[in-house]
Amino acid sequence: MLTDGDPRLLRVADPVVKDDPDLPLHIDLVAACLMEVRAWLGFGRAIAAPQLGIPRRLIVMDLGAGPVAFVNPEITWRSADMHLVWDDCFSIPRHLSHVERHRSISLRYHDRHFNECVWPRLPEDMAELLQHEIDHLDGILMTQRAAGPGAIAPISERQRLPAPQRTARRITLDGIIRSRGRIESVFLNAPQFDCETLSAALGCHVLLKVETVNPVRSFKGRGASFFVRELAAARPNLTLVAASAGNWGQALSYCCRAEGMPLIVYAAIGASQLKVERMRALGARVRLHGEDFDAAKAEARRFVTSAAADRNGEHLFVEDGLETRITEGHGTIAMEMIEDASRPGTHLDAVVVPLGNGALLNGVARWMKATSPATRSIGVCAHGAPSMRDSWLRGRHSTPILYQSVETIADGIAIRTPISEAVEDMFEVVDDVVQVSDEHIRGAMRLVLRHAGLVLEPSGAVGIAAILAHPAAFRALRIGCILSGGNMTVEEALRVARAQEL
């Protein structure tokens, strides 16, 4: 590690050329140094190659999910809004510097395979970090940017002086990593493949992540397995209570049966009969209440409160979207997608993810932003159930927008009462939320059946529906699409195949 006084730190680094045979070695070397220095000092999120005496325009960042390479990074936009931060640096180990930075930037760079990537409008903490590292590529040290009297302080003041604002997140990378070792194997490593004929029909390159080939026919088994296994070990005499439109209840039923944990599921009176029957067959006590999912959820909460007042055993209401371990379990989908997209030419420009209560989208987006920050995480809502999208668009720390009713064939994402914590989780990791009509959902179900031979329920097809509804936004891009559920009766599937109304 070069430190202040070494003239090599003031040299402008050379661009990395395509097919540079030394690039993989340099990335691995810089990543290994970052991990070693972090272990020694207890902090550090990124490092630039010139700090190691490698005069190349290369930065490696590791937020806790593995190293990410930024090759030839270029700032393409800077916010007019500036702020002062106290900066620290491995190469200036004895001092802190008060520097002025843009609150946000946009970045163009290449990854380790020289795929061109664009990361727009970085959040404040990432913008501060990358501006610091790009300064190293330009031969500029933080002390040269010191602003005002007393702008350079001894490192001993580090704990006293305000640090750059870094967002505290409920959903942790460590939790996602840990969940992978706890989730029952039958829910992991779901098939994923490029569907060439579907891609041709949609005008973009589509990687399908098929989360319907498991005992509960949906992605929900991941988060349920992680949560139930940990809870059963800690509180073996507990009865779980949940509300579900069907898929979450089936996943909990399967996992609770495996752990010998009693389960009560509340569902709407009009819930899918297939899903209700499957929950009961898997051992859950199912109680039907209310006209929709949110009414069933309110009744489930009331029951738990009543049971506690009556001292009628120990009951716990578990809410999908609120419990972090569930969301972290769902984040393993992104781990698998990124591993598949780690080869040359397979970079994902975006992932499109169904958005109901936020558990799937937030888990996937959290991992994506740490491992492939230029990959856009896009949530998909139904036009007739826009509460999560509208609440997110309202802005941080705002009261969620509630609707009196919802109207969509996609019952799995038909949310009228958002979970405020789940909305907050979306900020800085979710790039966009789009809406789709029931007509587009039906069209997507038929397309997937025709081109991939897969039967999807409406909410499981909304990612493809997003591409159908917004073709210009996805044209010629490489899109990861999570097919999240396939719980339909034979009759329903046949009606889709015949292009009739669901």
Q: Catalytic residues, which ones?
A: 133
Which residues on neighbouring strands pair with residue 285, listed in sequence order?
Answer: 264
Query: If you ran DSSP here, which 8-state letter would residue 485 be given?
Result: B
Q: Which of 231, 239, 279 is nearest to 261 (CA)?
A: 239
> Which amino acid is it at 349?
D
Q: Which of 101, 90, 92, 109 is nearest to 128 (CA)?
A: 101
- HSE-CB at 458 with a 13 A cutoff on CA atoms is 25
Which residues on neighbouring strands pair with residue 316, listed in sequence order?
Answer: 240
3-state secondary structure 88-111: CCCCCCCEEEEEEEECCEEEEEEC
- Alpha-carbon distance of 400 to 388, in angstroms, equals 8
- Alpha-carbon distance of 222 to 333, in angstroms, equals 9
Give the E-state strand segments of 93-235 in sequence order.
95-102, 105-110, 116-119, 152-154, 192-194, 205-210
- Alpha-carbon distance of 223 to 462, in angstroms, equals 20
What is the rounded radius of gyration, in angstroms, for the C-alpha atoms of the chain? 24
Structural tokens at position 335: 């781990």
- Alpha-carbon distance of 254 to 131, in angstroms, equals 48
Pairing type for strands 95-102 and 152-154 reads: antiparallel
Give the E-state strand segments of 176-277 in sequence order.
192-194, 205-210, 239-243, 263-267
Q: Which of 338, 303, 334, 337 is nearest to 317 (CA)?
A: 303
| Cα 159–Cα 160–Cα 166 angle in degrees, nearest 5 | 65
Which residues on neighbouring strands pair with residue 378, listed in sequence order?
Answer: 352, 432
